[in-house]
Amino acid sequence: MTPLLEVRGLTKRYLGLTAVDRVDFDVEAGAVVGLIGPNGSGKSTIVDCLSGFEPADGGHWRLDGRALTDLPAHRIARAGLTRTFQTVRAYDELTLLDNLCVAAQEEDGVGWLAAMLRTGRLRSVEAAATARARELLDIVDLAEYAQAPAAVLSYGQRKLLAIAAAMMARPRLILLDEPVAGVIQQLNAEGTTLVIVEHNVDFIMSLCRRVIVLEEGQKIADGPPGLIRSDPRVLAAYLGQRGAAELGQGRA
């Protein structure tokens, strides 16, 4: 089966530091895949490169066979790959409904002339965006705040709003940077493929059937949670060589 996302040789450097070093991985359609590693392992850098927010220094990647390498962020999003951010972004003065409709406008392809003339196509797009926004607010359990300004939301609720915004364009795949756990299964049930970026191992192991582990910019493990938990390279990455050895002796 051809993977939905194919990443080959992804490399990113900052001056003399190689943050991501020739990383390869695939993601099958419909999967929920975890991407974990200690702080500074390259997780967020991979998300930034794949989504077009940072230029890569090497490698290439495809979504459903379409090359995304070197495309700007808005074209990658229109191709079906969106993302969330560690730092939650929202328009505090706008309602939740309007926040999501703004997110839809970034991807709807309606030009300035249609917007100025208020064409029938524009009205149809706006109605569809409003309906989609209400549907997503219900999914992330924020429907009661639809007409409230985003400023009233807690940090956790703002993260849910950000996930809903990433879903507005019905993407094929979302890169979720430190998401809220409660909506993951619902999003996946919609048919969306998810790559979850996290440093919390227990969180990832409880949600994902497959986990990719990074250390110092390199992929050191890739497999089901049971194997990842016992992989000596992963234990060493999180606990240090001495801690991993002690844990191994305790299990012996």
Give the model confidence (pLDDT) of 98-115 as tens digits. Answer: 999 888 765 555 444 444
At 35, which helix (H) or strand (E)? strand 32-36
Q: State the average pLDDT over residues 197-208.
A: 87
| Percent of the chain residues topping a pLDDT of 90 | 62
Cα dihedral 198, 199, 200, 203 in deg (nearest 10): 20
Q: Indicate whether 214 pLDDT > 70.
A: yes
What number is the average pLDDT over the span 48-75?
Answer: 96
Structure tokens that stand for 235 in this block: 């234990």
Q: 216's torsion region: left (phi>0), alpha (psi -120 to 50) or beta?
A: left
Q: How many domains does the chain have?
A: 1
Query: Can you give the residue range of the structural domain that contains 138?
Result: 5-251
Assign residue 155 the CATH number of its domain.
3.40.50.300
Q: Give me the pLDDT at residue 243, please.
A: 41
Cβ atoms within 10 A of the Cβ of 227, count?
13
Asked whether the predicted pLDDT for residue 245 surpasses 90, the reply is no
| DSSP structure class, residue 64 | T
Mean pLDDT for the stretch of residues 16-44: 94
Q: Is the pLDDT of residue 21 over 70?
A: yes
Identify the pLDDT of residue 112. Answer: 42
Predicted pLDDT of residue 107: 54
**If 0-12 CB within 10 Å is exposed, 13-18 middle and 19+ buried, where does residue 78 land?**
middle
**pLDDT tens digit sequence for 223-244:** 999 999 889 898 888 766 444 4
Residue 242: predicted pLDDT: 43
CA angle, corner 238, sides to 87 and 55, nearest 5? 45
At 117-170, the pLDDT tens digits run: 455 666 677 888 999 999 999 999 999 999 999 999 999 999 999 999 999 989
The pLDDT score that the predictor gives to residue 83 is 94
Question: Distance (Å, rounded) from C-alpha 45 to C-alpha 43?
Answer: 5
Residue in this structure with the two tokens 């949670």, named with its chain if needed = 225
Q: Give me the amino acid identity at 154.
A: S
pLDDT of 229 reads: 87
pTM: 0.85
CB 81 within 8 Å of CB 51: yes
Query: Please, which pLDDT band fits residue 187 given cuts at 50, 70 and 90?
Result: confident
The strand pairing partners of 61, in sequence order, are 7
For the chain, what is the mean pLDDT?
87
SS (H, E, C) 93-106: CCEHHHHHHHHHHC
